[in-house]
Every structure is written in structure tokens, then in C-alpha cells.
Amino acid sequence: HKLSKHIHVDSAGTESLHVGERADIRSRKHAEKRGYSLHSRSRQFLMDDFDEFDFIIAMDNSNYYTILSMMTDRKYEEKVHRFIDFCTIYEKKYSEVPDPYYEGEQGFEIVLDIVEDGCTNLVTFFQNKL
């Protein structure tokens, strides 16, 4: 399957603190070392996102519960998932994707490891749904 024909990926935060800003320079630097480009600017999660997207993934528990608390209808609950639940290597060690900002350079590498783990399984998940 060519997933890119069927999947649109977007990113949004639940806080308005950094709306319009690029990702932290350290995140971009570590991502670029692995061949990823973090070029988009942040936006805030909107109520319309519940209707716009079929699948909503929260990176940490705080955002997960914030998104659930924003729901105006329980029908959206099946759309909301925790990223760590798609991990097979790191899901036992971490209960959520950790915040790398206070963990030094290694924190950013760990987050990328976790994201690669979860994304590998997300690709398989979506391939099986098509």
C-alpha cells in the first residue's frame, strides 16, 4: 500500500504557548541527523480537529487527557490514542513520550528512538486497515 495516498499527518499542541513557532532547535538538530526535517510551525489543537481527523494521537498523558476533556461528544473518544501504546520496544519503560527539554542531548535521542518505534508500528497498523 502507498500510505501517503491515504494518510494526512498534522501536528498540534494543546497549549497556545508556542503557536506559530518552529520546533526547538535541539529537536530539529537531532531530527536532521537522522534524516528528518521538522519544518512546520506549531498550531493549537482545535475543536474542529475532532471532525477533521480520523485518528488523534497524544504524545504524553497530559495532552491525552486534555484532548479527552475537550470532547463535546463521546463519539470522538475512539479517535484519541496515546502514542506510547503503539510502541513495542519502549512501552514498558515509559508510560508516555518524555519531554526531552530538560534531559540534555540524550533526551532528544531517546524521544527520537521512541518515535521511530511507535511510527514503525503505526505504519503496520494503518497498512492492515487499508
pLDDT tens by residue, 27-62: 999 999 999 999 999 999 999 999 999 999 999 999
How does residue 1 score in pLDDT terms, banded at 50, 70 and 90?
low
Predicted structure pTM score: 0.91
Which domains does the chain carry? Answer: 3-129 (3.40.50.2300)
Q: What grid cell was written down for 15?
A: 497549549
Task: Express each pLDDT in 57-102 by its tens digit.
Answer: 999 999 999 999 999 999 999 999 999 999 999 989 999 999 999 8
Q: Compute the C-alpha angle 111/98/27, nearest 5°.
A: 45
| Cα–Cα dist 123/48, whole Å | 25
Q: What grid cell was written down for 3?
A: 500510505
| Cα–Cα dist 84/38, whole Å | 20
- Short-list 1, 2, 25, 22, CA closest to 11: 22
